[in-house]
Structure 1
Amino acid sequence: MWNTIDKFLKRKKMNQEQLANLMGVRSSSLSDLKHGRIINPSFELMCKIVDGLGITLDEFRNELEQTKTKSGE
């Protein structure tokens, strides 16, 4: 999942700290996701992520599915 978030961060020319600020959370929340300490994020957290990235849940889901298909997951 982090790979998909990272793709959007790069597209938006943002870093993890900037996203956390837009989400209104500490960057450690994103760090937990990045390092696999959060495996299944809550709906609320996902909404904050996509809102911070300025995308929809559908856009995120579509990108996530494409990433999984490319990596063979």
Structure 2
Amino acid sequence: MKTYILLDNLEHVLKQIEDKRDEDLVTHPENEIIWKWATNNFENKIAMELNYMLWDKIQKELNRQGMSIYKLAKITDIKDTTLHNYKKGSEPSFKNMCKIADALDVSLDYFRKDDER
């Protein structure tokens, strides 16, 4: 549910920026730089928020199973520093998400759904 609200808000804000951008570009072409920066900045923030939400699911499952990040790293053969980067908002690769799901004995769908296990 949180994901959809976040994306709806982003769409609304980007639409406002785009409407304003079109007006301002008539008189201020250098605003294109600002538009590109704002769009990229919003996209990065949304991606990081989604990655935080993904990590919350991983952490919840780790807690449920009484497993540490270190143990997950050993089971998956993913460096613990990489797992800590995921915790800080980095996007995990599909391959690593498969390893994590296997180690936690959950499906990849578990990480996509808003509802609990």
Q: Within the alignment, does 1:66 sit opposite 2:81 as a pair? A: no
Residue of structure 2 equivalent to 1:44? 95
For normalisation by structure 2, the TM-score amounts to 0.49
Give secondary structure in 2 for the equivalent of 1:44. helix
More helix by share: 2
Tell me which stretches of 4 or more aligned residues in structure 1 moved more than 6 Å: none
Q: Does 1:54 align with 2:105?
A: yes
Question: Which runs of no fewer than 5 residues in structure 2 stay unpaired?
Answer: 1-53
Identity over the aligned pairs, expressed in percent? 38
- Counterpart amino acid of residue 56 in structure 2: N
CA RMSD of aligned residues (A): 1.5
User: Which structure would you say has the larger RCO, counting Cα contacts within 8 Å and 6 or more residues apart?
Assistant: 1
Matched residue, 2:65: 12
CA distance in 2, matches of 1:13, 1:61: 22
1:57 Cα offset (Å):
0.7
The higher radius of gyration belongs to 2
Looking at structure 2, the residues matched to 21 and 42 of structure 1 have their Cα atoms a distance apart, in angstroms, of 17
CA displacement, residues 10-57 of structure 1 (integer Å, 9 cap, x when unaligned): 111101001111101210110000012x1x321111101111111111
